[in-house]
Amino acid sequence: MAKGWRKKDEHLSAHERESLPHSDFALPGRGKGPKGAGAGSYPIPDKAHARNALARVAQHGSSKEKAEVRSAVHRKYPDIGKEKADRRYRDRRA
């Protein structure tokens, strides 16, 4: 199986999550856990997880967390959310 490929509804295993670099988390760990670095919150190793991170933080995050997650997702995947904004613009012009 190629790295990064997974079925649509497949979740990260605990080992996969622990193996992710800090750059694959919207909110990296704060120094807890083994080796002094916790995994972090809202993993964003691919676009599906990034979209899920945006949805989850919208449900459960503080205002600061929402801003940080949005920023991290858009920094890593600039096109996420753009298609929704483009569609709103087209709808207004019609």
Note the pLDDT of residue 4: 54
Note the pLDDT of residue 1: 38
Give the tokens for residue 73: 């997702």
**Alpha-carbon 87 to chain mean position:** 22
Residue 84 sits at the vertex; the CA angle it makes with 79 and 89, to the nearest 5 degrees, is: 115
Q: What pLDDT tens digit does each residue of the chain (94 aa) get? A: 345 555 555 688 888 888 888 888 888 876 555 554 556 788 899 999 999 999 999 998 899 999 999 999 999 999 997 766 556 656 666 5
Note the pLDDT of residue 31: 53
In a 10 Å sphere around its CB, with 0-12 CB exposed, 13-18 middle and 19+ buried, how is residue 34 labelled? exposed
Q: How many residues does the chain have?
A: 94
